[in-house]
């Protein structure tokens, strides 16, 4: 049977669909990757990938079957390595966490700085991105998303509910017609998402309140929208955990315009056996529970667990 390196090369190519990308992640030459894949296919007597310039390396039916077994081997080896190396010392190893952009930058990052202070043997990649994180391609060990995964071998929990409200700068509100009720919004302009580039329908909330013609500034990034609001030219619906921490912003129609959404945290079921993953899992559940009021817009500062 082939050695672990052959399986590792296979997994990286399957996840990235490019030999060049797999080589970069493995720290080897492109030719080394393609040679190892050819040797693995020859040894197994099957074609694992269909190869083309347009689509790169695409798993065949046999490749998809082998991928399931290869992931099980990978998870078992990682769990064994952690159990043996961590038996006599604190948490060690590397973890990658993918998250929605606003939450990842504003909430997750400072919490993970605190977690790493507690566990200096852990190295972290934090990926706050305005797109879906694929655990099947091992883009991350843990994902925090707006929607619960519909299928897959995942351990999943509802991390928290959070609120969004309409915000503007105090200067904007002083310079423009007063807003006492929803009908007053017709005299104002807004900031929102680029509709055709939305990665989740859970972000499609501005449509409930204003006409499309009133949206004069659009971005795929909630942080860009936040910065645009600070420019004082328009209003935007923003997460309370982002906007409530900034004294320059004030909620508009606070009792009337209120959007509720949820964050879900999930990881591969196999990672339930790894101490470092479960340590971050438990830490985040505790820390987010402590900051539930901030997520709902009833508190203005992030609390770090004691």
The pLDDT score that the predictor gives to residue 81 is: 67
The pLDDT mean for the chain works out to: 89
In the block, which residue shows the tokens 């609390």? 303
**CB-CB contact of 99 with 131 (8 Å):** no
The pLDDT score that the predictor gives to residue 265 is: 96
Query: What values do phi and psi take at 258, rounded to 5?
Result: -150, 120
The pLDDT score that the predictor gives to residue 88 is: 46
The pLDDT score that the predictor gives to residue 7 is: 87
The pLDDT score that the predictor gives to residue 240 is: 96
**CB-CB contact of 19 with 34 (8 Å):** yes
Report how far apart, in Å, the C-alpha atoms of 67 and of each of 106, 107, 284 are: 36, 35, 30
| End-to-end Cα, the chain, rounded Å | 50
Residues of the chain short of pLDDT 50, as ranges, are 87-88
Tell me how long the chain is: 306
In the block, which residue shows the tokens 């966490």? 97
For residue 128, which of 31, 240, 263, 30 has the smallest C-alpha distance?
263
pLDDT in tens, 48-92: 999 888 778 889 999 888 888 887 787 777 767 666 665 445 677
pLDDT in tens, 138-171: 788 899 999 998 877 889 999 999 999 999 999 9
Q: Which domains does the chain have, with CATH numbers?
A: 4-85 (1.10.10.10), 94-306 (3.40.190.290)
- For the full predicted model, state whether its pTM sits above 0.85: no
């Amino acid at each position: 049977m082939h050695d672990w390196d052959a399986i590792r090369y296979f997994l990286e190519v399957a996840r990235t669909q490019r030999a060049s990308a797999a080589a970069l992640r493995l720290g080897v030459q492109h030719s080394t990757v393609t040679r190892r894949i050819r040797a693995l296919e020859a040894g197994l007597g099957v074609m694992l990938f269909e190869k083309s310039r347009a689509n790169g390396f695409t798993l065949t039916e046999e490749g998809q079957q082998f991928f399931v077994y290869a992931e099980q081997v990978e998870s078992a080896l990682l769990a064994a390595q952690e159990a043996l190396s961590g038996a006599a010392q604190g948490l060690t190893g590397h973890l990658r966490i993918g998250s929605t952009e606003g939450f990842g930058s504003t909430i997750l990052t400072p919490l993970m700085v605190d977690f790493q202070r507690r566990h200096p043997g852990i190295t972290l990649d934090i990926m706050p991105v305005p797109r879906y994180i694929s655990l099947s391609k091992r883009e991350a060990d843990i994902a925090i998303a707006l929607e619960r995964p519909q299928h897959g071998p995942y351990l999943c929990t509802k991390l928290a509910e959070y609120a969004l409200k309409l915000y503007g700068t105090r200067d904007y509100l002083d310079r423009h017609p007063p807003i006492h009720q929803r009908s007053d919004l017709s005299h104002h302009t807004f900031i929102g998402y680029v509709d055709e580039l939305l990665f989740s329908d859970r972000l499609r909330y501005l449509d409930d309140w204003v006409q499309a013609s009133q949206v004069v500034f659009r971005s795929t990034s909630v942080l860009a929208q936040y910065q645009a609001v600070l420019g004082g030219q328009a209003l935007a619906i923003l997460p309370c955990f982002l906007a409530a921490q900034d004294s320059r912003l004030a909620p508009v129609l606070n009792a009337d315009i209120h959007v509720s959404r949820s964050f879900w945290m999930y990881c591969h079921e196999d990672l339930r056996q790894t101490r470092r993953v479960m340590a971050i899992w438990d830490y985040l559940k505790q820390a987010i529970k402590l900051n539930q009021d901030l997520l709902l817009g009833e508190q203005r500062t992030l609390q770090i667990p004691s």
